[in-house]
Amino acid sequence: MSRLSPEIIRSHAGQRRKMVDEQLAARGIKDLRVLEAMSQVPRHLFAQESLRHRAYGDHPLPIGENQTISQPYIVGTMTAALGLTGEEKVLEIGTGSGYQTAVVAELARQVFTIERLNNLSRKAQKVLEALHYTNIVFKMFDGTYGWPDQAPFDAILITASAKEIPESLVNQLGEGGKLTAPVGDADEQKLVVLTKTKSRISRRELGACKFVPLIGKYGWRE
């Protein structure tokens, strides 16, 4: 993955445009910066090579180690909920394939991303480096602790599900910040958005979803 030809990076443009029009814009995602970012980021490069032809379909895909790259609509919904303007310092828990990391890196100043599975983190780093992202910092660790040295964050994205959002992460959200996460039991969750204003937390729900579990000290047991 150290060299990617411009042709490989730019390929699948028609499928990407169709994905944005039919799966995101038509279903109510209005943030033009999110739509533009998702029409640029080459999702096929984050999928396993044998599954590249399905990378722009309306579904999640396996990425190995029993984990998944999320469905495009879910990536778009979670990212749009953060209302990024380009100035933010963002914490992502669950790097996975690195696809959503790339989308957020297009829209924010800096992304700190944590993945507990070393193989996935390494693979994601290779793709993101080959695509020349310079505003992403990686960590291999249990993300339920957050990244206290770098807190507070303007936005936090948790891409694996927990029964409750870990307090440790809510505490690392800055004033005016937003956090989005799937919350619920193992079979079904709701996408939740928290907003911190004057140290008070407001909460709204965006709909049903199904994510792999957030495993760690303040999540599910392995």
Query: Least distance from C-beta 167 to ligand SAM, angstroms?
Result: 14
Candidates 37, 90, 91, 120; binder of ligand SAM (CB under 6 A) is 120
Rounded to the nearest 5°, which phi and psi values hold at 106? Answer: -70, -25
Q: Whose CA is closest to 120, among 69, 52, 60? A: 69
- Hey, which residues between 125 and 164 contact ligand SAM (CB under 6 A)? 142-144, 159-160
C-alpha distance from residue 102 to each of 21, 33, 39, 79, 121 (Å): 20, 13, 12, 11, 13
Q: Is 42 in the site for ligand SAM (CB under 6 A)?
A: no
Is 2 catalytic? The answer is no
Q: Whose CA is closest to 54, among 20, 26, 15? A: 15
Span interacting with ligand SAM, options 8-16, 94-102, 168-176, 192-200, rule CB under 6 A: 94-102
Q: Which of these is catalytic: 11, 39, 70, 161?
A: 70
86: left (phi over 0), alpha (psi -120 to 50) or beta: left
Q: How far is the C-alpha of 162 from the C-alpha of 169, rounded, in Å? A: 12
Kindly write out the interface string for residues 46-75 of this chain, putting x where it contacts ligand SAM by CB under 6 A and - elsewhere.
---------------------xxxx-----
Query: Least distance from C-beta 35 to ligand SAM, angstroms?
Result: 17
Q: Is 106 in the site for ligand SAM (CB under 6 A)?
A: no
